[in-house]
Amino acid sequence: MATHAVNMIVYILLFLSIITKDVGGSAICWTKTDPEHIRIALRPTGVTISWTTCGYWDFWNLINDTPTPQVAYGTDPDVCDKLSQYNFTTTTYNPNPIFTRFFHNVYLDNLDPGTKYYYKIQETKKCVRASNILSFTTAPLIINCESQPINISIVGDLGLNTYFNNYEAEQTIIAMKKYISISNFFMHIGDISYADLYGAVVNFDFYEDTWNRFQEAIEPITSIMPYQVLPGNHEATCFQLSDKVCPPYLKNFTAYNNRFHMSGELSGGYKNMWYSYDYGQAHIIMINTETDFKDAPSGPGTTLNAGNFLGIDSQLAWFEQDLIEANKPENRAERPWIIVAGHRPMFGSTSKAQVQIAGIPIIAPSDNCAACRDAFLPILCKYGVDFFMAGHVHWMELLYPLDCNGNVVANHFNNVDGVIHVTNGAGAAPTGAETVDTADTYRRAFFFDGYGFQQLEIKNCTHATLHFINSSTKQIIDSVDVVRSRSTNNI
């Protein structure tokens, strides 16, 4: 009986391989499919356009269906008259043919600043249709530190709907889409999709399926404006509790580094793990709080056993050098706002929190990262960083400006020194929100333990406003103005 079943499978595969041949002997597709998970990322003078395809079968082999990915683009929606020329990469990582995808990245450089461009992913000879005409707007031009105000929408710890998060993930994504028209770009500060939990704990989807569903859900955002990402602990491997059950190609941030493309090498960084970029009056640095520094929480020998990518000191050396460059007088004058983002918070106002594990409330120490403080905080303080944006803890919290020892500099934000720490992990994790059990509120300026995200509005060289948004109501629930004269917090 078993032999008969095996023979039937072989016959079916042979039949499929024959009927998917054309006369010339090359494989064909029954129907063409659309490019999937279209996404945009920033480059110094342009953007990266990325998308995903499924490939096609040629007898026993799964073949890349887009060997030469191309994008037509221009400033007229009716005439996309420029064509990307051989400036692309294609990657893949999962050899299991059921889950194999091909990830295509096309680089569009030397674009005009502050300009709306239209683009169209080109059809391929086999299997892939052209995309609809989409659009994006390039970063504004800076002249003597003056440009139009910019709005950065920032979310952290966002997955898909579950019973435990009251199906609020969808509400967060809907709210984010509502704010597209007043956003210049989005930042997702780690814990993206939670594929490592969904695949084994929550609703029994496969790891890759969950990644696909999440990227499909955010495509209305990522296809029309840059979506900048950084690594969280839930991107490290295919199973959150241990990397030992995962095959090598699903470990060590592999899916994350293929499914997004942040051009880290252009700033001297490494892939999507750490990098920096300029936008408007801001210089933004995305760091990796998971690996590549002493006692890193997801590093070698930990449960997730990830990294190190370039050695234990490389990220910190790069980080300091990047800030030295950003603080050169001519650079700080043009882009005075320095924002650092990393997944794990360094400080918070709570010593204990109530977390939900599969619906069961558990009291645990608040998850502020001491190793991150030891590694990064002295550098943040030394070079006059304005904001440190974090996620990981499933609420939103704003702290008053802090010195290098975590002491409050002042109970306001009007022309005082110190790093402003913001925790923003309220996107909607699959395990639900966290609530405060024991609070040390002397550092706290704002707190919200529902679901939501934030906007950082940079109005000019000295004035910015933080807006905190409730996913359920889609409304701003609080706004905090920040003023920095720049007379004391520069080096």
What pLDDT is recorded for position 291?
Answer: 98
Which ranges of 367-474 does DSSP label H, i.e. alpha helix? 370-382
Residue 22, in any domain of the structure: no
- In angstroms, the Cα distances linking 256 to 1, 156, 211, 260, 300 are 43, 15, 9, 6, 18
Is a pLDDT exceeding 60 seen at residue 87? yes
Share of the chain above pLDDT 90, in %: 72
Query: Domain with 322 in it: what CATH number?
Result: 3.60.21.10
Is a pLDDT exceeding 50 seen at residue 315? yes
Residue 4, in any domain of the structure: no
Write the DSSP symbol of residue 274: B
pLDDT band at 28 (very low <50, low <70, confident <90, very high): low
Is a pLDDT exceeding 90 seen at residue 71? yes
Query: Domain with 121 in it: what CATH number?
Result: 2.60.40.380
pTM over 0.85: yes
| Residue 347 sits in the same domain as residue 478 | yes
Is a pLDDT exceeding 50 seen at residue 339? yes
Tokens of 37: 């998970």
**Is cis: bond before 308, omega within 30 of 0?**
yes
Which residues make Cβ contacts (< 8 Å) with residue 90, sequence separation at least 6? 64, 66, 67, 69, 102, 103, 104, 105
- Note down the domain range covering 455: 144-483
| Residue 149 sits in the same domain as residue 113 | no
DSSP string, 112-144: PTT-EEEEEEPP-SSSBPPPPPEEEEPPPP-BT
| Residue 119 sits in the same domain as residue 172 | no
pLDDT band at 162 (very low <50, low <70, confident <90, very high): confident
Is a pLDDT exceeding 50 seen at residue 12? no
Residue 240, in any domain of the structure: yes
Of the listed ranges 3-17, 131-145, 289-303, 446-460, the one predicted with least confidence: 3-17
| Residue 311 sits in the same domain as residue 348 | yes
| Residue 82 sits in the same domain as residue 164 | no
Is a pLDDT exceeding 80 seen at residue 11? no
Residue 388, in any domain of the structure: yes
Domain boundary among 70, 104, 136: 136
Convert the pLDDT of each residue in 176-195 to its tens digit.
999 999 999 999 999 999 99
| Residue 304 sits in the same domain as residue 351 | yes
What pLDDT is recorded for position 352?
Answer: 56
Is a pLDDT exceeding 80 seen at residue 372? yes
| Residue 356 sits in the same domain as residue 276 | yes
Query: What is the chain's mean pLDDT, rounded?
Result: 88
| Residue 63 sits in the same domain as residue 90 | yes
Convert the pLDDT of each residue in 125-161 to its tens digit.
888 999 999 999 999 998 777 768 999 999 999 998 7
What pLDDT is recorded for position 204?
Answer: 46
